[in-house]
Amino acid sequence: MGVIHKIGRRKCAVARVYVSEGTGKITVNKREFETYFPTATLQYKVMQPMSLTENASNFDVKVNVYGGGSTGQAEAVRMAIARAMCEVEAENRAILKPEGLLTRDPRMVERKKFGQKKARKKFQFSKR
């Protein structure tokens, strides 16, 4: 099979994933995946495409991820793994697409506007 390389993005996070046949070991930035994503929800998000396609113990995943926060990074890794699972087997696309794992989330942080405190918040208005 060789190594499959895919990229996933979410907000400012970019994840590069290298999937190869193995025993199901996931390493994120040369650390174990459980230590990099300590909470159960983040671990579930990362494992979601593997568990839906029943490939949790068939492939080794090596991840390089940078930018953004922990949630954005976990969702970027999830998207990259989902794309890799589609390349492994074409039938996986029918499983992952309805779950929304192959759709890039376009929501980004809204920029701060000049003359305002934040993107939407204004300075306090004083009438007199």
pLDDT per position as a tens digit, 47-96: 999 888 888 888 999 999 999 999 999 999 999 999 999 998 888 899 89
pLDDT above 80: residue 1: no
Whether the pLDDT of residue 24 is over 90: the answer is: no
What mean pLDDT do residues 90-115 have?
91
What is the rounded average pLDDT for all residues in the chain? 92
Nearest-angstrom CA–CA distance, 100 and 39? 22
| pLDDT of res. 118 | 95
Cβ 37 vs Cβ 5: under 8 Å: no
Amino acid identity, position 82: A
- With a CB cutoff of 8 Å and minimum separation 6, the contacts of 19 are 3, 4, 6, 59, 60, 61, 81, 84, 85, 88
Which residue's structure tokens are 């970019």?
14
CB of 62 within 8 A of CB of 31?
Answer: no
DSSP state of 109: P
Q: Is the pLDDT of residue 113 over 90?
A: yes
CA-CA distance, 12 to 23, in Å (whole number)? 31
Does residue 123 register a pLDDT over 90?
yes
- Structure confidence at residue 38 (pLDDT): 92
Residue 17's pLDDT is what? 95
The share of the chain scoring above pLDDT 90, in percent, equals: 72
